[in-house]
Amino acid sequence: MLEIKDLHVKFHNRDREAVAGISLTIADGEIMGLVGESGSGKTVTAMSIAGLLPRKQCQLSGDILLDGQDLLHARRSELRKLHGKKIGVVFQDPMSSMDPLMRVGKQVGEVLRIHARDKDDAAQKAMVLQALADVELPEPEVIYHKYPHELSGGQQQRAMIASAIVIRPSLLLLDEPTTALDVTIQAQILELLKKLNRETGISMLFISHNLNVVRKLCSRVAVMQRGELVEEGGTDTVFFHPRHPYTQHLIASIPTRSGKELR
């Protein structure tokens, strides 16, 4: 469903390419993990899929196709019809990613006001409440009328996931969605994502620097280093038989409970 072919991204104020020719495909209903350290280009890759890169400040080449539709070279006005509707994005820090002055329900429903204008207010509200229930927020009707600062970090991130899936997009981009959360909440969010994937068949690109998290969630994983894709494959294969030295190094540095090797 998503096909990235030889993607290059270079910012004008940097010498090195942020993304140096990566190719990647995500199948329908698949959860793909994208790992690498800070600056490896994984977020830039996601942002170029979501169309959130400042076009004037960077040079893009290659192809990104979503169900055959071009995401990289299309006009902005064409792309805006896809953003939110076909692609939902969840960012790292839920608190700052939400408009502090807008009630949660209104923010979650924003995507419907843009892309589902044929539905009336009551229908849109019903969809928002359903999405809030889908992400297992207690008392959706209460949450609907709250402001972001009245929610806990975990609840905020659930609300952000609700806003990304309320219109049932085909692809969910998750840019380190659990990094800002504590470990128990992190585990709950991962369970939730698995459930959503199982029940709705939505494809996901999950970006993280945390290999443990990726291992729990993703069926396939791609490893990035300095803008290049160094390894890609089924999660178990990559974890148990890493071929590239960088991947081996990453896996060796995962802290384990007993201090023993991961396997």
**Shortest distance, CB of residue 79 to other proteins, whole angstroms?**
8
- Residue 98 or 211 having the CB closest to other proteins: 98
Least separation in angstroms between CB 109 and other proteins: 10
Task: Tell me how far apart the alpha carbons of residues 168 and 143 are, in angstroms, rounded to a whole number.
Answer: 20
Give whichever of 102 and 252 is closer to other proteins, judged by the CB atom: 102
As measured in angstroms, the least distance from the Cβ of 166 to other proteins is 10
CB of 18 vs other proteins, minimal distance in Å: 17
Question: In which region does residue 246 sit, left (phi positive, over 0), alpha (psi from -120 to 50) or beta (all else)?
Answer: alpha
Name the minimum Å distance from CB 167 to other proteins.
Answer: 9
Binding site for other proteins (CB under 8 A): 50, 52, 76-77, 80-85, 87-89, 91, 93, 96-102, 110-111, 114-115, 147, 149, 160, 163
Residue with tokens 């350290």: 37
Q: How far apart are CA 225 and CA 42, in angstroms?
A: 9
Residue placing its CB nearer to other proteins in the complex, 149 or 195: 149
Nearer Cβ to other proteins (84/105): 84
The structure tokens listed for 14 are 């940097």
80 or 244: CB nearest other proteins: 80
Question: Please, what is the minimum distance in Å from the beta carbon of residue 65 to other proteins?
Answer: 19
Pick 20 or 52: Cβ nearer other proteins:
52
